[in-house]
Amino acid sequence: MNKIPDRRTFAIISHPDAGKTTLTEKLLLFGGAIHLAGEVKARGAARRARSDWMKIEQQRGISVTSSVMTFEREGITFNLLDTPGHEDFSEDTYRTLTAVDSAVMVIDVAKGIESQTRKLFEVCRLRSVPIITFVNKVDREGRENFETLDEIADLLALDVTPMTWPVGLGGQFEGVYDLVGNRLLLPEGPSREFQGKVIQTSGLDDPQLDEILSAQGVAKLREDAELAMAGYAPFDAEAYRNGDLTPVYFGSALKQFGVDALIGALAEHAPPPRPQPAEPAPVAPTNDEVTGFIFKVQANMDPNHRDRIAFMRLCSGTFKRGMKLTPTGHGKPVAIHSPILFFAQDRELAEEAFPGDIIGIPNHGTLRVGDTMSEKAQVRFTGLPNFAPEILRRVALKDPTKTKQLRKALDDMAEEGVTQVFYPEIGANIVIGVVGQLQLDVLISRLEAEYKVAAGLEMAPFETARWVSAADPKALKAFTDINRSAMAKDRDGNPVFMAKSAWEVGYVAERYPDVTFAATRER
Ligand code: G4P
């Protein structure tokens, strides 16, 4: 049976504290995957013991908790991929977005679009990933709804279509009105949560609304909703799927308002797996050959073991346990005997998986981020980018006899996407690049804990880097010869120009029109 139309592989993008964890819990709860909200956060030993996989996880010390969560509802399989929040912010986060077909953007009603949301949104835009917006915390005081909607439209250059509308915010909050189904969702009990109380109305003029809501609440709802429906574009499924329009759901993850509508929207509108860009030609999910790509590698948290889990997004074919797949370009076929499927509470051995699904492949470091896995090893997925680092530092080794270990450690971490590593043409100091400050702390502590390498970081005379290439090798050589002190090689031997500022990149690029300066490198 063709399972492709029933798959929804998506991620939640947000700024820390907007409510991603709470929303994830509620999606799993409404999706029937967990029975008690709060389980996503619970990491106690009792919970770990519950499934065999968790035992393996404990023995090997691999923590894959909540990297991928799968749940099913009404015949649709939802694969929710976690984009790590602030602490783990790295290329890893960006790359996860290459493995999804759509995203949910969570915004705090009081704060609007924040920096991290915006960065993640830009990555989605690069790949035309369609976005559903969830404006969270309407049970709290917030900005005017129009202000929120206009900010999304202006900052992100998207058409917006409100699909639900809150009746009052904060202290005045009385419920959520579904503008599409003309239903009123009401709070119940002392906690004022949504527990399923829904009033079907004939529209905004329905006199039932006057009976249930306060006079002020109903008047404002009618006025605002009419303005909103007249002022914003009507929902257009095609524009949404092209990434030009975002439907907006107002709700409260904590009080469970809007969660159901969100799942419904994902089921009804979010795209199933799409053809993936690849060489020599894009791969359609309906192709028979099993193909996929590794978008994330998670290393062992236990320094005594070197096991890793490679996360593969399946792009085509029906995967069966025990199948042999070959990483294109390097390595021998790998027989995948213990593929892992990720359900909210359990890890299960995957007997079968379909396009859009994510499977975890335990390995000893043979599989790398960006690898294409396939039966015939003749395709290569493109578009898994390396991003130009925003912070560059020199690594200063405290014990010079540990050079070899340092290289190995940095190469390992580069493989995982924790850092990028650059080997300057001149001098022996390795330069590392990251896209977020906090990655630096992670790097130093892991160097010490896992690799027993004591190192410090020093300011580098550079701030950013670009991959350079040219159609004419002579033009490239002329450039690199003159700029040798700013040249380095990345882990795969590609030439990289390190610059003191983004301004310098622009300046130099203008003087060398035959050389291409790329802020991302596809592998
Ligand atoms: P994050 O993963 O995006 O960082 O956010 P998280 O879900 O952890 O939520 C951040 C805080 O916002 C939490 O409060 C959470 O309870 C609260 N929150 C999330 N959704 C809503 C909502 O719809 N309404 C209201 N009023 N609050 C919401 P906290 O006090 O920081 O943590 P906790 O002790 O409650 O876990």
| Tens-digit pLDDT profile for residues 339-362 | 877 654 455 556 788 999 998 888
| CB contact at 8 A, 281 and 14 | no
Residue closest to 312 by CA, chosen among 282, 272, 284, 350: 350
| CB contact at 8 A, 311 and 358 | yes
How many angstroms is it from 405 CA to the middle of ligand 1?
Answer: 42
**Which helix (DSSP H) or strand (DSSP E) does residue 151 occupy?**
helix 145-156
pLDDT band at residue 155 using 50, 70 and 90 as cut-offs: very high
246 carries a ligand binding annotation: no
| Confidence (pTM) | 0.79
206 vs 342, higher pLDDT: 206
127 vs 471, higher pLDDT: 471
- The helix/strand/coil state of 175 is strand
How many angstroms is it from 20 CA to the middle of ligand 1?
Answer: 8
Instruction: Pick the atom of ligand 1 nearest to 15's CA.
Output: 3
| CB contact at 8 A, 303 and 449 | yes
- The helix/strand/coil state of 324 is strand
How many angstroms is it from 106 CA to the middle of ligand 1?
Answer: 12
Residues with CB under 6 A from ligand 1: 14, 16-22, 85, 136-137, 139-140, 252-255
Phi/psi-derived region of residue 443, left when phi > 0, alpha when psi is between -120 and 50, beta in every other case: alpha
Instruction: Give nearest CA residue, ligand 1 atom 31.
Output: 17
Q: 172: Cβ–Cβ under 8 A, 6 or more apart, which residues?
A: 216, 217
86 carries a ligand binding annotation: yes
Instruction: Give nearest CA residue, ligand 1 atom 14.
Output: 17
17 carries a ligand binding annotation: yes
DSSP for 377-432 reads S--EE---EEEPPSEEEEEEESSGGGHHHHHHHHHHHHHHTS-EEEEESSSS--EE
Averaged pLDDT of the chain: 85
pLDDT band at residue 300 using 50, 70 and 90 as cut-offs: low
82 carries a ligand binding annotation: yes
What amino acid occupies position 146?
F
101 carries a ligand binding annotation: no
| CB contact at 8 A, 3 and 314 | no
Query: In this structure, are strands 515-518 and 520-522 parallel, antiparallel, or unpaired?
Result: unpaired
As for the ipTM of the complex, it is 0.97
DSSP structure class, residue 276? B
> Is the pLDDT at 63 greater than 50, yes or no?
no
How many angstroms is it from 137 CA to the middle of ligand 1?
Answer: 9
pLDDT digits (tens, 9 = 90+) for 387-432: 678 889 999 988 888 889 999 899 888 877 778 899 999 988 899 9
Q: 259: Cβ–Cβ under 8 A, 6 or more apart, which residues?
A: 23, 26, 27, 29, 30, 251, 253
Instruction: Give nearest CA residue, ligand 1 atom 30.
Output: 17
How many angstroms is it from 170 CA to the middle of ligand 1?
Answer: 15
**Which helix (DSSP H) or strand (DSSP E) does residue 311 occupy?**
strand 308-316
How many angstroms is it from 418 CA to the middle of ligand 1?
Answer: 27
- Percent of the chain whose pLDDT exceeds 90: 53
What average pLDDT does range 25-54 have in this prediction?
51
Residue 509: is it exposed, middle or buried by C-beta count within 10 angstroms (0-12/13-18/19+)?
A: middle
385 carries a ligand binding annotation: no
Query: In this structure, are strands 515-518 and 464-470 parallel, antiparallel, or unpaired?
Result: antiparallel
Instruction: Pick the atom of ligand 1 nearest to 18's CA.
Output: 3
Please choose from 22, 66, 88, 164 the residue to mutate so as to test ligand 1's pocket, defined by most ligand atoms within 8 A of CB. 22
- The number of beta carbons lying within 10 Å of the beta carbon of residue 365 is 15
Instruction: Give nearest CA residue, ligand 1 atom 24.
Output: 137
| CB contact at 8 A, 78 and 270 | no
What amino acid occupies position 176?
V
- The helix/strand/coil state of 115 is helix
Instruction: Pick the atom of ligand 1 nearest to 255's CA.
Output: 23
pLDDT of residue 341: 72
How many angstroms is it from 426 CA to the middle of ligand 1?
Answer: 49
| CB contact at 8 A, 179 and 159 | no
Tokens of 247: 């439907």
pLDDT band at residue 235 using 50, 70 and 90 as cut-offs: very high
What amino acid occupies position 409?
A
Instruction: Give nearest CA residue, ligand 1 atom 36.
Output: 22
Distance of CA 21 to the CA centre of its chain: 14
How many angstroms is it from 121 CA to the middle of ligand 1?
Answer: 21
pLDDT of residue 57: 43
Dist. CA 131–CA 109, nearest whole Å: 17
pLDDT digits (tens, 9 = 90+) for 237-281: 999 999 999 999 999 999 999 999 999 999 999 999 999 989 899
18 carries a ligand binding annotation: yes
